[in-house]
Amino acid sequence: MNALVFIFDYSFDNEPTFSTPFMDFQQPIPKLFYLFDSGTPFKQCQVCNRDLITYDKPYIIEKAIRRYPKFGTEDVVFEYAICMDCAEKQRQQMSTESMFRMEEYWTDRFNPAEHLQHSESVPLEYLMDRCALTGERRSQMEEYQIAALCQGSSLVPGQPPYLVGGMAMEQIMELMSNETMDQWNRFRDDFLGPSPEISDLLKGRPVLI
């Protein structure tokens, strides 16, 4: 995949309000998690090219976005989908130290039950307006990452999308070993293919898988 740097001017106006609990039935994948350049759903795993629509397990969609408030625009720095098998292989490459620190960080700050409760009767805009880990508002961020757990053409019930802000990403980076940082950079270089102008921006940035 070539470098993904596009003007991001997404509107939530046409997104559905999740008026029924996520755990009750499958919701269609919001267009926010479609490919930006084509406006179509992700169909293949970025790593193994597996067909995600017929894949019998969940897969993850992640996007990293940089904001330019003065210009009223945002850039999609990268976007990809990865099947659960490949995501697990990536996790296994993390150092034991980094894995422990990351799990501890998330456990201390992320409340899945509260996140799910908020998602039961609010628009997608609410979930995408604040960091799930720090509560920081999107309007205060310079960059953020969003992720969704999907299966086929739907979100996985009971697993609402979430946003992680730049402040939380910086905190996570400080917890990671050099070994894990190198692994993240290899993943970026091998599968996201950044152009030179955004290489420095992506260097060391963790992925949410």
Decide if 203 is inside a domain: no
Decide if 209 is inside a domain: no
- State residue 5's pLDDT score: 26
Decide if 63 is inside a domain: yes
- State residue 126's pLDDT score: 78
Decide if 62 is inside a domain: yes
Decide if 97 is inside a domain: yes
Give pLDDT tens digits for 111-145. 554 555 544 555 677 788 889 888 899 999 999 99
Decide if 202 is inside a domain: no
Residues 6+ apart with CB under 8 A from 141: 67, 131, 165, 166, 167
Going by C-alpha positions, the residue among 203, 20, 30, 50 that lies closest to residue 116 is: 20
Q: Which domain holds residue 158?
A: 6-195
Of the pLDDT bands very low, low, confident and very high (cuts 50, 70, 90), residue 191 is: confident
Domain total for the chain?
Answer: 1
Q: Give the mean pLDDT of the chain.
A: 78
Decide if 114 is inside a domain: yes
Decide if 46 is inside a domain: yes
Give pLDDT tens digits for 6-35. 223 333 344 434 444 444 557 899 999 999
Structure tokens, 92: 């296994």
Give pLDDT tens digits for 61-97. 999 999 998 888 888 989 999 999 999 988 888 888 8
The model carries a pTM of: 0.77
